[in-house]
Amino acid sequence: MTSRQFRFLVVGATSGMGWYLTQALVSQGASVLASGRRAGRLRALRWKLLGERARGSILIQTADVLDPSTLDELLGTAIEAWRGLDCLVYTAGIYLPAAFEPSQSKDWSRLFGANFAGFHHLVSAINARVSDRPVHAIAFTSSLAKGGPRESIAYGLTKRLLEDYCQRAGGVLALNRIFLHIVDPGPFRSEMNPTCGVGASEASRRTVARIWKCLADKGSCSACRK
Ligand SMILES: NC(=O)c1ccc[n+]([C@@H]2O[C@H](COP(=O)([O-])OP(=O)(O)OC[C@H]3O[C@@H](n4cnc5c(N)ncnc54)[C@H](OP(=O)(O)O)[C@@H]3O)[C@@H](O)[C@H]2O)c1
Residue 102 is predicted with a pLDDT of: 72
Predicted pLDDT at 105: 79
pLDDT at 97: 66
- Please state, in angstroms and rounded to a whole number, the distance separating the CA atoms of residues 152 and 142: 9
List b or e across 92-104, with b for residues whose CB sees 16 or more CB atoms inside 10 angstroms: bbbbbeeeeeeee
Q: List, for the chain, all residue ranges whose pLDDT scores fall below the cut of 70.
A: 1-4, 97-100, 142-152, 154-155, 192-196, 218-226
Tell me, using a 6 A CB cutoff, whether residue 64 lines ligand 1. yes
Nearest to 61 by CA among 44, 42, 83: 42
Ligand 1 centre distance from Cα of residue 121 (Å) = 17
Gap from CA of 170 to ligand 1 centroid (Å)? 24
Any atom of ligand 1 within 6 Å of the Cβ of 15: yes
Phi/psi for 185 (5° steps) reads -75, 150
pLDDT, tens digit (0-9, with 9 covering 90-100), for 162-186: 888 988 888 888 888 888 888 877 7
Question: What are the pLDDT digits (tens) for 94-124?
Answer: 877 666 677 777 888 888 899 899 999 999 9
DSSP state of 189: B
Report the topology of domain 3-225.
Rossmann fold (3.40.50)
Report CA 139 to chain centroid distance, whole Å.
5
Distance 104 CA to ligand 1 centre (A): 19
Question: How many angstroms separate the alpha carbon of residue 191 from the centre of ligand 1?
Answer: 9
Q: According to the model, what pLDDT value does residue 152 have?
A: 65
Find out whether the beta carbon of 36 lies less than 6 Å from any atom of ligand 1: yes
Task: Using DSSP, state whether 6 is helix, strand or coil.
Answer: coil
